[in-house]
Each structure stands twice: as C-alpha cells, then as structure tokens.
Amino acid sequence: DASGNTGSCTSVVTVQDVTQPVAKCKNIIANLGVNGTVTVAPASVNNGSTDNCSFNLTLLPATFNCGNIGVNTATLKATDAGGNSSTCTATVTVKDMTAPTASCKNPTIYLDDNGHATLTVAAMNNGSSDACGILSLSINNTAFDCSNISGVNYVTLTVKDLYNNTASCIGAVTV
C-alpha cells in the first residue's frame, strides 16, 4: 500500500477443457483379406476431425468379416484429454475381392471295359478353400479314353467363391 506494507496469498487455478472435439466422418470401402477379415483404422474414416487440444480417435466396430459383406455403419469417436467427446457415423462397405485358394491333386484314373474313364472334381480337388465360402468347383476335362494313356494330361480346376472371385490350378492326370 502507500505506506509500503505488502501482503500476498496463494490460489489454485484449475484449467479445464470444456470444448468438445468435432468428429467428422467419410464413407469408405474395405476389402477383406485372405483370412476373411479386415480391421479398419480410425484414420481411414476420419474426414478432418478437430479439437482445441489433442485428441484420439476410436472406431466401433473396427473389425469386419464375411458376415459383414455389404454396407455397415461404424461410429468414429473423438475424445480429448479433458474427457470431452463427440461422434459421427461412417458407412463402411465391406467387399470380398480376394481370390480363393485353388489346390490340385495329380490323380490316376482307370479306363473301364469300354476304354473310357471319367474324372471328377473330387478327384482333382486337394482342399481348395475360401474364407467366405466356395460357390463352385469345375474342371475343364472330364472324359478320357485310350488316346490319353501315353503322355501327361493336364486338367485345370477352377474355384469360384460366393463373390465371383476365381482361382485355378493345374493337375497332371495319369490315365
């Protein structure tokens, strides 16, 4: 004061962040992997979310599988250090673009009394697989006769999955 006396005190100042982040989403396409799943990173659906401080993003659901093929809704949540959060929703279109695994045997087939033999898909297939399911298996040659006894007879096995992805392998058929 004017007489030169002084006084002081201590106070505690609490700084709070009361401003919610702004979550912004974009729609995406996610392709399943060979194991039939895909995990989508939150950043993939983030469309420029903001906050006055730092924040983190989470996505629910983030993992999709064969049962999710098609259009799905996922929620992006932005949460800041003050515990404030906001959400938005994104459309995650899940697709199966992965070819099946074609696996061939090299079968031996035997001619009948008339000199003919029929090759079946089962005789050619050696456990072909697809994470989301196989629609069909086919071979390009099923009928053999005496003219096929000498030499190697190559047959192609084609595997088609439920979403029209295909793969093939070649087996050597001994007659």
* pTM strictly above 0.85: no
| Residues in contact with 10: Cβ distance below 8 Å, sequence separation at least 6, in sequence order | none
**Coil, helix or strand at residue 148:** helix
Give the pLDDT of the chain (175 residues) as one tens digit per residue.
888 899 899 999 888 888 999 999 999 999 999 999 999 999 999 999 999 999 999 999 999 999 999 999 999 999 999 999 999 999 999 999 999 999 999 999 999 999 999 999 999 999 999 999 999 999 999 999 999 998 899 999 999 999 999 999 999 999 9
User: Could you tell me if residue 82 is left (phi over 0), alpha (psi between -120 and 50 degrees) or otherwise beta?
Assistant: alpha
Helices (H) and strands (E) in the chain, counts: 2, 11
- Interatomic CA distance for residues 97 and 164, integer angstroms: 9
